[in-house]
Chain A
């Protein structure tokens, strides 16, 4: 059972435009979400996170939005740059009542390509 889903395997965007990557989850106990970015031949690196007590978290060009009622989150990158081309994973730690047990469940990933 895929508890975290990224239904778009790939996304292509022009440089300077907005990139929107989507993620859906099924486990209503998830209360914290993370986005990781992965370049080829490297391990994933942490990008941004959001707690369920918020509906938005912003860090420079990256903003994550959380819609708890829809069990949906999205990552916005504005403006997109060619260096943003990578695989993006959303993830959620298992746990209940705000406690994380360190066990992350990852989505399948979305390949973002930003064209110059």
Chain B
């Protein structure tokens, strides 16, 4: 298996622009997680899905952030409008069941100027 796939790997955009991050989980996994890593806050969970349904979005920082999972093999995290403080590495992870072993993608490094 190719593992969790994220795209793009790097994104540079200007403040106010819309940013869409994409994730393909490992086939067969029914949980999908979006994390953000920053120097100040470390690795924090933004939202997670079970069987394509959002379960907990309490970590989403504000309404500018939204996430969708239209099917079992694809999820997006959208930031609109983006701000410089959104600059971070965004990770997607998936797992089988509510198992604790989550498999992470390589991350998307976002820079908002």
Contacts and interface: CB of A to CB of B under 8 A. Distances in A.
A60 interface: no
Interface residues of A, number: 23
B34 interface: no
B100 A107 contact: no
A69 to B, nearest CB: 23
B79 interface: no
A2 B98 CA distance: 23
B67 to A, nearest CB: 15
Contact of A104 (B55, B102, B105, B106): B102
A43 B42 contact: no
Contacts, number: 59
A44 B91 contact: yes
Interface string B82-113: 00000000010101001111111111000000
A25 interface: no
B56 interface: yes
A43 B91 contact: yes
A41 B91 CA distance: 11
Given A43-B105, A103-B48, A49 B100 contact: yes
B45 interface: yes
Contact of B100 (A41, A44, A104): A104
Given A102-B31, A103-B56, A46 B102 contact: yes
B21 interface: no
Given A42-B106, A43-B106, A44-B91, A32 B42 contact: no
Given A42-B106, A43-B4, A104 B101 contact: no
Given A89-B43, A102-B48, A103-B48, A41 B106 contact: yes
Contacts of A85: none
Interface of B: 4, 31, 33, 42-45, 48, 50, 55-56, 91, 93, 95, 98-107
Interface of A: 32, 34, 36, 41-46, 49, 89, 93, 99-109
25 contacts: A32-B100, A43-B104, A43-B105, A43-B106, A43-B107, A44-B91, A44-B104, A46-B102, A46-B103, A49-B101, A93-B100, A100-B99, A100-B100, A101-B55, A101-B56, A102-B33, A102-B48, A102-B95, A102-B98, A102-B99, A102-B102, A106-B42, A106-B44, A108-B42, A109-B43
